[in-house]
Structure 1
Amino acid sequence: MMPSPRTTRATVGNSTSSATTSNGKFEFSSLVNSRTPLSDSPSARLRASESPVRRKDSLTSQQVLPEEDCMKLNPSFLGIAFRSLLAIDLWLSKRFGVCAEEHCSWGSARPLMKLIEVSGHGIPWIAGTLYCLYKSDSLAAQEVVLNLLFALILDLILVGLVKGAVKRRRPTHNRMDMFATFSVDKYSFPSGHATRAAMVSRFLLNHLVLAIPVRVLLMLWAVIVGFSRVMLGRHNITDVAFGFLMGYMQYSLVEYLWLSPSTVPALFSL
């Protein structure tokens, strides 16, 4: 006589329960694990995520750098040279800033350096040029003085444009107590005093008849004005050096755009 299906299922159920009862939770958990796929088990997923292959792949994916970072890690020779020169410039400028504060090594000479600073400022030069233009009684003198005024205004415009484009901050040891500053004067490159000193000295040497001692003093004044900017901590050395070069070239531009009665008759008719 064949056993019924109910009897067979009951027998299997009884054997499973007896196996569970006789062997405890160990047999039951092993039975469950045997029925549960390896990939669906939480412990299996944890072990798979902690496998060496997975860890190696994750580390490799994390170590992949974007192209910009790779370029930064492998700078060019020109980039390294530029950064090195910039670091030397900052270091030397700080070493020569001996009048930046009263407690510095040359702090007692700070008032004299500030007087030299005023002598190279644009406002006294423009005011003096306007006065000379008002007092000039000959057409030749008016032509020279008018072009000097044009050169001073051109210098202010060009220096302001370059400062606004470069936006290099002034040295950290500078104290902002300068005479008659404007918004763009918070930037340091190039030195406006250096450009003005170089341009004015070249202009006067070429258009005024001066004695040799006066010519020497004029050139010394231009050099001292530029060097005082570094001593006061106003500018870095490269700011002054580029300012001298820019002022020298500005005079050539003024000569090219020279204002004369034939080119601008309306100005001279006033």
Structure 2
Amino acid sequence: MPSNHCRARARDRANLLGRPEFLSLNQTPRSTPARRASQTKQPPPPPPQQQQQLPEEDCMQLNPSFRGIAINSLLAIDICLSKRLGVCAHATSPWASVRSMVTLLALTGHGIPWIFGTLVCLTRSSTLAGQEVLVNLLLALILDVLTVAGVQKLVKRKGPWEMSPSFLDYMAMDVYSFPAAHASRAAMVSKFLLSHLVLAVPLRILLVLWAFLVGMSRVLLGRHHLTDTACGFALGFLHFSLVETVWLSSSTCQTLISIGTLSWSPFS
């Protein structure tokens, strides 16, 4: 009797393992020919030094340095404040009603009007001292335009608001945000005029105030960040110091004027 019961249990177990859902338990895993071929043809992994490395900007730094944290925090604050100060950036901005006045103020610091105006004054000047000052001012303006354009092309920083440069900006090569060309030019011109013109105290105060407002007008228009304007002011003072160091004498200025007017003779 017990033997019959054991045979019945063995038979039931065989029937249970013979069901379709349990067939895989009775079979040994076999690799297909295609799988065996892929396993045999799989190339060995490259050595560690030849593995592809991700770009640096795609890698996440789990332990950034204190310097990196400080710089990123300052940049974030700069962008946030610059966006808040861009109250004349668009027609729907809070100060949209004074946007035309701020644009006109920014135009007084543009490079093209200053270069053109200096050339006009140079053609109408009749004194050697006046021509000397105007030629050096023209040299400073050209130096400012070329230096700022070179730094902007190198850094390629965008402004706080997405805006396309105007036609005058393209002419003066003032396409990018850093450094602020208007701030650099206003600082250099104001320092130049304060050093070489005898002005009353109210005019000197107005000249300094004009330079500051020209630099801030570009921030109000959403063209530059605050750091762009600050670096522009510093670059303008640097240009003034450089021009003062290589100041052209009156005879050199007269030679340049003669070459410019095609009246220079090297044998005279």
TM-score, normalization by structure 2: 0.73
**Rounded Cα–Cα distance in structure 2 between residues aligned with 1:142 and 1:86:** 44
CA RMSD of aligned residues (A): 2.9
Asked if 1:185 is matched to 2:180, the reply is: no
Distance 1:67 1:101, change over 3 A: closer
Asked if 1:258 is matched to 2:254, the reply is: no
Which of residues 163, 178, 183 is equivalent to 2:152?
163
Distance 1:71 1:266, change over 3 A: same
Structure 2 gap ranges (5+): 1-13, 19-24, 32-52, 260-268
**For residue 201 of structure 2, what is the aligned residue in structure 1?**
212
Q: CA deviation at 1:206?
A: 0.2
Amino acid at match of 1:205: L
Asked if 1:108 is matched to 2:97, the reply is: yes
Q: How does 1:233-252 map to 2 (within 5 A)?
A: 233-252=222-241
**Rounded Cα–Cα distance in structure 2 between residues aligned with 1:249 and 1:136:** 28
**For residue 142 of structure 1, what is the aligned residue in structure 2?**
131
The aligned length equals 220
**For residue 83 of structure 1, what is the aligned residue in structure 2?**
72
Q: CA deviation at 1:268?
A: 4.8
**Rounded Cα–Cα distance in structure 2 between residues aligned with 1:220 and 1:24:** 100
Distance 1:268 1:186, change over 3 A: closer
**For residue 131 of structure 1, what is the aligned residue in structure 2?**
120
Compare CA radii of gyration and give the structure with the larger one: 1
- State the 4+ residue runs in structure 1 displaced beyond 4 angstroms: 23-27, 65-71, 262-265
Q: How does 1:12-27 map to 2 (within 5 A)?
A: none
1:49-108 Cα deviation digits (max 9, x unpaired): xxxxxxxxxxxxxxxx97957772221111111111010000000111111122221111
SS of match in other structure, 2:174? helix
Report percent identity of matched pairs.
54
Which of residues 109, 118, 132 is equivalent to 2:107?
118
Contact map agreement 1:261 1:268 (CA 8 A) in 2: no
